[in-house]
Amino acid sequence: MVAIFIIGFIVSMGLALALTPLVKKFAVRIGAMDTPNARKVHTRIMPRLGGLGIFLAFVITVAALLPFVSAWFTTRDMSFVSAFLIGGSIIVLIGALDDRFELSAKVKLLGQIVAASVVVFGFNIRVDFVNIPFQDAYSSLEAWVAIPLTIFWIVGVTNAINLIDGLDGLAAGVSGIAIGTIAVMSFLMGNMMIALMCLVLLGSIIGFLFFNFHPAKIFMGDTGSLFLGFSLAMLSMLGFKQIAVVSFITPLIIIGVPLSDTFFAIIRRAVQRKPIFSPDKGHLHHCLRELGFSHRQTVLIIYGIAAFFGVLAIIQSSAAMFEANWVTFVVICIMMFFLQVGAEVIGLVSKTRRPVINFLMRMRVKLSPETRSKS
């Protein structure tokens, strides 16, 4: 069994290495090019559509491995794989069309909803129950709640990855770290189907990163960012399926970087009284660049943040196995504290509003020896 996982990872990585240069030539030939503008960091025209290399490497490897591993999988596992491949194909088609023709936001959103609906209605994949935090219990969800919740989850995570795709290797690396986290959790839970899918996809991402890390030779485009977002949404839903093992918060921690960046973007635009969907240069990677970090340093810092979230997710899920619910509470508190302080330090919401940092500074002054001696 171990050999299959290793082979799947190596084959997918090799295919991505071989296919990405071909995809690059194809992108140039059909005119799928990314032109610099005021919002973008790069300064020269670059081919996009690189996500097609990730997708093809993943699909070819999964198709080649299925005859050897189908005996391990239940009927529901095979249904999940089918839903993943079909829904992912729809997402990749939408992304590829956008990379070439620049579709409107409404058309892309409609395509994502169609893909999510195929998963939900075509294969009956849905969030049908969630754990109750800090209790050894779960709550069943009625269809009228489960269906829109699942569609919202898939569409939301899909777009969250798309929003952080602003620097060479950023979206691919952050997605790879999140998928690696899910792979570790899957092995701990004994969910071999999810673990295999994660390792194959991780191999595809690493193979693509050889061409996408700074200085990039090709961008993944919406083809890649939307597919990786869709993949994370699907794979992280395993957190909702393990009743006695993982609480509902785990998938949110796994994809903490893109979700928090999206959350702070919404808050920032609300504070600035701008439309929620209006583009800006206030995302995490923009703010780090403004602080003076280089392109590579910014990407590596965000990789570190993503890894931090991954470790928290593994700690939380491992604690849940032993019903140590207090660990979940501690993890959530740590995560929220560092998120808020980090957002204030780099100015994700506002360059001047820093309520938590100001509070900590006031407390530090009050508790200092000089202040206490005067009092």
Question: Which positions make up the binding site for Mg(2+)?
Answer: 162, 222
Q: Is residue 94 a contact partner of residue 162, using CB atoms and an 8 Å limit? A: no
Tokens of 121: 């209605």
Instruction: With CA atoms as reference, report the closest residue to 225 among 212, 237, 215, 236.
Output: 212
Q: What are phi and psi of 140, to 5 degrees?
A: -75, 145
Binding-site annotation: residue ranges: 162, 222
Asked if 198 contacts 44 with a C-beta cutoff of 8 angstroms, the reply is: no
The label of the residue with tokens 């506002």 reads: 350
Measured distance CA(303)–CA(173) in Å, rounded: 7
Identity of the amino acid at 320: A
- In Å, how far are 96, 212, 249 from 48, measured between CA atoms? 9, 10, 34
Give alpha helix (H) positions in 118-142.
Answer: 123
Buried b (16+ CB within 10 A) or exposed e, 105-126: eeebbebbeebbbbbbeebebb
